[in-house]
């Protein structure tokens, strides 16, 4: 079984993907990290790389081709990426949501905890996070619609949807893990 996780910024995707992979003793693939590495190799921030991607599909295709190949050649892994559900259609598709305000607060708290300002080095307030994420979402929407004709935030694309706004990370994990377990049991029969 392949589990793909997507969702809103600050919804807990990375936390849940990592914990799920550890619990199942499966590999975890993080597409956002691969995009950041690709941007860095070009001497760009992620925001600059995303902007370039609006006119140069190769910036998305690199990571997307990698995801497709994983889906065709491997099994039993967790993958976190906005387009993973689409590129690996036989995956168990999970979408984690969160209110915009709570997501912004979580992202800002995470950046403060890690003592980071973010890839653009201009995030110093909650308002900066809000503006940065809005720009990123707009770029993501434009690219995914242009190159694939998809809306990665349309919950109809997913097998399991969970709003994490008022849940603790443990509650989110428990809900996701119960769903995964049910599907693992079904796939064994």
What are the extents of the domains in the chain?
A: 2-188
Q: How many CA atoms lie within 13 A of 43 on its CB side?
A: 0
CA–CA separation, 85 vs 94, rounded Å?
A: 8
pLDDT band at 187 (very low <50, low <70, confident <90, very high): low
The confidence score (pLDDT) of residue 111 equals 83
Which pLDDT does position 118 carry in this prediction? Answer: 47
CATH class as words, domain 2-188: alpha beta
Task: For residue range 65-90, list pLDDT tens digits in order.
Answer: 999 999 999 999 999 999 999 999 99
Please give the average per-residue pLDDT across 179-183, as a whole number: 95
pLDDT for res 45: 87
Across 59-109, where does the E strand assignment appear? 77-80, 92-97
Looking at residue 132, its pLDDT comes to 87
188 class by beta-carbon count within 10 Å (0-12 exposed, 13-18 middle, 19+ buried): exposed
**Taking 70 as the threshold, does the pLDDT of residue 184 lie above it?**
yes
């Amino acid at each position: 079984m392949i589990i793909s996780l997507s969702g809103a910024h600050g919804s807990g995707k990375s936390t849940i993907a990592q914990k799920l992979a550890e619990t199942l003793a499966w590999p975890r693939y993080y597409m956002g990290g691969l995009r950041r590495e690709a941007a860095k190799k070009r001497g760009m921030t992620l925001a600059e790389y995303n902007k370039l991607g609006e006119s140069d599909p190769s910036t998305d295709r690199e990571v997307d081709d990698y995801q497709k190949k994983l889906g065709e050649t491997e099994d039993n892994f967790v993958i976190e990426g906005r387009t993973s559900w689409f590129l690996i259609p036989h995956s168990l598709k999970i979408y984690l949501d969160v209110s915009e305000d709570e997501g912004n607060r979580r992202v800002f708290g995470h950046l403060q905890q890690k003592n980071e300002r973010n890839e653009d080095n201009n995030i110093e307030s909650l308002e900066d996070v809000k503006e940065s994420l809005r720009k990123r979402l707009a770029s993501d929407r434009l690219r995914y619609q242009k190159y694939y004709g998809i809306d990665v935030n349309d919950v109809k694309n997913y097998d399991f949807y969970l709003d994490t706004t008022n849940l603790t990370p443990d509650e989110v994990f428990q809900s996701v893990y119960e769903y995964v377990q049910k599907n693992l049991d079904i796939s064994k029969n």
